[in-house]
Amino acid sequence: MKWGIVRFPGSNCDQDLYHVIRYILGQKATYLWHKDTDLQNCDIIALPGGFSYGDYLRCGAIARFSPIMQEVLAHASRGGPIIGICNGFQVLCESQLLPGALIRNRTLHFVCQHVHLLGEGPALKQTKLYVPIAHGEGCYYNSPDGLKKLEYENQILLRYCSPQGTITEEDNPNGSLNNIAAICSPNRRIWGMMPHPERACEAALGSTDGLTLFRCFLQQISTA
Amino acid sequence: MMKAKVLVTPKQGILDPQGVAVQHAMSQLGMSCVTEARVGKVIELTFTGENEQKTREKLDQLCQELLSNPVVEDYHILWEGKTA
């Protein structure tokens, strides 16, 4: 598998992601510049965290219209796999590749901490993970009908939970509806998440649960 | 020359923590009569004034695609009319 990591002006998790894909997962990876119009035969497109275009207007709003995103949209329409992390998740929602929106955290604070997550759906089952988040606009919102559809189609991948794996309001760091931390497209090939798995792939960083998340993604896209 | 202001506001029913913080501050400063505050943004635009009808239609389209996110925001266009 060859990964293409998209770099927008303001992306800042691109190198961490490259490091994990290349040296920990042992797969091929290359950077794709936002002005590029060629995906260089990449099999998987990764949209990293950061502050694309300075988060001007809304997070991800301007990145959506960059030249590379037109190719990413075409890749998605061919059923190509995509993973968006943090700002990448915001870009995917703005691009309407994933439903809903990410708005200002309920507390108005930028939250930067490790969180407990409970997986669900065929890829992550009931896996418990401990992975960091770092965002100011990570409150997942969708309309009541949109939320019902997500639940019905099993599109929710991760929810914020207690250390014991219980979904509670106290363990919701940003006000996300139904504690949603990550979702996927109906065909399960486009994943978007606020947590940063690339920051939790080596024991020295306090958790290797991010690797589990990447491996579940790879497993899912090889079967879906 | 034509001018317009685009007002973008959070949709009713959507949690607006900035609005809550503003309302709280106003209450503390002696305006406890404020029952709700909603914080949005204003985008001021200036146009060449050519092809007015086309400009109006295109702006409406871009309000939906770029200037606001219809999932969480409403928009309202205030035209200031032709000045030249």
Q: What is the set of domains in chain B, with CATH numbers?
A: 2-82 (3.30.1280.10)
Two structure tokens written together for A23: 């040296």
Nearest Cα residue to A10 out of A75, A91, A72: A91
Two structure tokens written together for A99: 């439903």
Chain A touched by B39 (CB under 8 Å): no
Q: How many domains in chain A?
A: 1
Tokens 């997942």 -> residue: A140
Q: Report the pLDDT value the prediction gives residue A223, as an integer from 0 to 100.
A: 84
**N-to-C CA span, chain A:** 15
B81 vs A55, more confident: A55
Two structure tokens written together for A146: 């949109």
Distance CA A88, CA A190 (A): 11
Distance CA A147, CA A155 (A): 10
pTM: 0.95
Q: Tell me which of A86, A139, A161, A216 is the catalytic residue.
A: A86
Distance CA B18, CA A112 (A): 20
Annotated catalytic residue A120: no
Tokens 């559809």 -> residue: A149
Domain that holds residue A74: 2-223
Chain A touched by B61 (CB under 8 Å): no
Interchain pair B71, A100: CB under 8 A: yes
- Give me the DSSP letters along A40-85: TT-SEEEE--B-GGGG-SSTTTTGGGSHHHHHHHHHHHTT--EEEE
Distance CA A215, CA B15 (A): 35
B1-56 pLDDT, tens digit each: 899 999 999 999 898 999 999 999 999 999 999 999 999 999 999 999 789 899 99
Tokens 């940003």 -> residue: A174
A36-52 pLDDT, tens digit each: 999 999 999 999 999 99
User: What's the helix, strand, coil split of chain B in %, to 5?
Assistant: 35, 30, 35
Chain A residue with minimum CA distance to B15: A106
Distance CA A47, CA A32 (A): 10
Query: Which of A55, A57, A176 to probe the B interface (max B CBs under 10 A)?
Result: A57
Residue A144 φ/ψ, nearest 5 degrees:
-55, -40
Nearest Cα residue to B17 out of A139, A104, A140: A104
A96: region left, alpha or beta (phi > 0 left; psi from -120 to 50 alpha): left
Query: Containing H/E element for A18?
Result: helix A14-19
- ipTM reported for the complex, 2 dp: 0.88
The CATH number of whichever domain residue A53 belongs to comes to 3.40.50.880
A36-46 CB burial, b ≥16 within 10 A, e <16: beebeebebbb
On the question of pLDDT at A206 being above 80, the answer is yes
Two structure tokens written together for A32: 């794709």
A73-124 pLDDT, tens digit each: 999 999 999 999 999 999 999 999 999 999 999 999 999 999 999 999 999 9
- Look over chain A and give the mean of its residue pLDDT values, rounded to a whole number: 97
Cβ A120 vs Cβ A217: under 8 Å? no
Annotated catalytic residue A196: yes
Q: Report the pLDDT value the prediction gives residue A112, as an integer from 0 to 100.
A: 97
Q: Report the pLDDT value the prediction gives residue B81, as an integer from 0 to 100.
A: 66
Q: Report the pLDDT value the prediction gives residue B84, as an integer from 0 to 100.
A: 44
Chain B touched by A169 (CB under 8 Å): no
